[in-house]
Amino acid sequence: MKLDGKVALVTGAGRGIGAATAEMLAAEGARVVINDRDAQECEAAAAAVRDGGGEAFGFACDVTVPDAGEQLVEAAIERYGSLDIIVNNAGYVWNSAMHNHSDEQWQAMLDMHATAPFRILRAYYPWLKARVAEEAAAGDVTCRKVVNISSVSGTDGAPTQFAYSAAKAAVVGMTRTLAKEWGRFNVTVNCVAFGPIETRLTQEYEDEPPTIDVGGRAFKVGLSAGQTANMRATVPLGRVGQPADAAGAVYLFCIPESDFVSGQLLICSGGLRS
């Protein structure tokens, strides 16, 4: 139980990688705040953690609204009295060739993948600063963790993902900067960039791409059967990753063994790089 006594917040945890991450952290003893914009999925994920013997509650909200950061931090502290791990995982894709990108599309990807984590971390700062001062006065030392989620689209680029790639690249810079700023609070800040992971965003299709609903709007997602086959052929490990694989990479930055690791970028892609 490496995370016994810890409190974790995982955004975008109603399904996929976020849900797998919440389950893995809870299995190691963390009490988990599960966030998703879909209230039904949010509660289902929290129930799954509880059914597995862990402790979790769901807090549904859209992380792109201006006060979402305050809502999430307050909910975690009100429920569990602390907040030790933040995993900024929430996200979706809105793809098209760069010359077809609208201003709305560009801003939506920045708001989702860069601005939302920024606001959550900014909202966390006042409580963090006060708690660390209290602990220092008592002679206690606690290492807290921030894990931001990027993508190989942000590290290597990807066709049709101009705005998404830009936002995910911003996450890497945010991570490295905050690691330097928050080291004095004994907070490690790291980043995991995912490659091909099997989720609803990368689901395989034969004819027409499927869509997901985000705020009442449909967005095309998925990979064609040919794209998936090509990906499997080029990934050195010979397969597409599963949500548990992705969660494992996040977990590495949450456990005590990584308490002296900060400002790092971990590529979780089965060895695939462009």
d(CA 20, CA 32): 12
Residue 1 lies in a domain: no
Selection from 44, 31, 177 nearest residue 118 by Cα: 177
Confirm whether 164 is a catalytic residue.
Answer: yes
Task: Out of 80, 92, 124, 164, pick the active-site residue.
Answer: 164
Q: State residue 203's pLDDT score.
A: 67
Q: State residue 219's pLDDT score.
A: 73
Residue 233 lies in a domain: no
pLDDT interval class at 227 (50, 70, 90): confident
> What are the φ/ψ torsions at residue 34 (nearest 5 degrees)?
-100, 120
**Does pTM top 0.85 for this prediction?**
yes
Angle in degrees, 0-180, between the axes of helices 68-80 and 116-137, rounded to the nearest 10: 40
d(CA 189, CA 96): 31
d(CA 272, CA 274): 7
Q: State residue 205's pLDDT score.
A: 72
Residue 122 lies in a domain: yes
Range of the domain at 56: 7-196+242-268
Helices (H), 138-242: 152-156, 162-182, 225-234
Residue 204, pLDDT above cutoff 80: no
Q: State residue 271's pLDDT score.
A: 92
Q: Which one-letter amino acid corresponds to residue 259?
A: D
Residue 237 lies in a domain: no
Query: How many CB atoms lie under 10 A from the CB of residue 116?
Result: 24
Residue 224 lies in a domain: no
Average pLDDT over every residue of 184-208: 86
Residue 36 lies in a domain: yes
Q: Please calculate the CA angle 20-183-123 and round it to the nearest 5 degrees.
A: 60
Residue 95 lies in a domain: yes
- The number of domains in the chain is 1
Return the higher-pLDDT residue of 216 and 190.
190
Domain containing residue 251: CATH number: 3.40.50.720
Residue 126 lies in a domain: yes
